[in-house]
């Protein structure tokens, strides 16, 4: 057994963790498994999926602009109920249908096309994202220089940039910015799922460089607080199984946090990714996931592990 496993054991609290299940009756490995209570869909994703399911139960068909969530297993489940994923090019060719806008939100151009094509939009944009869009739009109309800390090409960021007719500056790291050539006064925003620590670090570096920054913190705390929650969770187990879709930016970040906290961390996207060779007898296993990871998938993976 390696040093990392011993360290993880040494820092566990006394007593049993809530939600732990054991496979003591199994002839194989004697494992105990717990699912992180804080993992799973954020409220924005829950809202979008509930809206989709309500319509699908009645009408058996609903178009969705982009993956409703960055998790292939959940998308596949909804596609079996009648959800059809489309892109913006396909949207422009549709008429007289219903189209769901996912939690990431959309730029104004999407609403214009829908209006012209008599498309009924089922708007499931996350309220936190909508608030951010409104603030960026208001800032832009005042002729202020808008800078957005976010991932290039991300659906939410495209929607934010659309509020400025594409004129906002988007950057993934401060190294992308030529600070000497930047305006001396800017309005700084962030994609809602970015790290608060990184956001405030960027603000500090910019102000120390002589730039006057109007700081707008609209980061979703339900998402950003997962950083600290997962650090606490990960250290309580011998092995961590992190469940996420391969497309999830949030998943990649949170997985790395788990990996840094507990080196015995595995990334899986479906139950078929789990193998008994990952575990050892009497191991305590923690399962956690991204904001786009459904609880049913984590439970399915838990049950698979308990079968070893």
Query: 77: which residues sit within 8 A by CB, 6+ positions away?
Result: 294
C-alpha–C-alpha distance, residues 293 and 40, integer Å:
5
Residue 197 and residue 160 in contact, taking contact as beta carbons nearer than 8 Å: no
Give the count of beta carbons closer than 10 Å to the beta carbon of residue 306. Answer: 19
- Residues serving a catalytic function are 156
C-alpha–C-alpha distance, residues 28 and 131, integer Å:
52
C-alpha–C-alpha distance, residues 119 and 91, integer Å:
9
């Amino acid at each position: 057994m390696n040093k990392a496993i011993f360290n993880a054991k040494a820092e566990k609290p006394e007593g049993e963790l809530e939600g732990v299940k054991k496979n003591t009756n199994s002839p194989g490995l004697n494992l105990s498994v717990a699912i992180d209570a804080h993992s799973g869909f954020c409220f924005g994703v829950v809202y979008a999926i509930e809206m989709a399911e309500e319509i699908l139960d009645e009408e058996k068909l609903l178009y969705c602009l982009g993956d409703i969530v960055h998790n292939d297993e959940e998308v596949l489940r909804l596609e079996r109920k009648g959800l059809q994923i489309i892109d913006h090019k396909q949207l422009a060719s549709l008429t007289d249908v219903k189209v769901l806008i996912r939690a990431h939100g959309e730029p104004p151009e999407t609403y214009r096309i829908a209006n012209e094509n008599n498309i009924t939009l089922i708007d499931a944009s996350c309220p936190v994202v909508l608030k951010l869009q409104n603030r960026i739009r208001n800032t832009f109309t005042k002729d202020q220089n808008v800078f957005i800390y976010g991932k290039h090409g991300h659906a939410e960021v495209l929607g934010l940039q659309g509020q400025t007719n594409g004129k906002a500056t988007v950057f993934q790291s401060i190294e992308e910015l030529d600070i000497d050539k930047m305006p001396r006064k800017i309005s700084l925003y962030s994609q809602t799922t970015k790290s608060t620590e990184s956001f405030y670090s960027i603000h500090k570096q910019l102000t120390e460089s002589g730039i006057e920054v109007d700081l707008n913190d609209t980061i979703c705390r339900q998402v950003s607080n997962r950083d600290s929650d997962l650090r606490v969770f990960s250290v309580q187990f011998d092995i961590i199984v992190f469940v996420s879709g391969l497309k999830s930016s949030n998943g990649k970040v949170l997985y790395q946090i788990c990996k840094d906290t507990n080196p015995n961390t595995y990334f899986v996207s479906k139950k078929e990714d789990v193998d008994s060779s990952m575990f050892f007898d009497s191991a305590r296993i923690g399962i956690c996931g991204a904001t786009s990871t459904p609880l049913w998938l984590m439970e399915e993976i838990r049950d698979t592990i308990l079968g070893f």
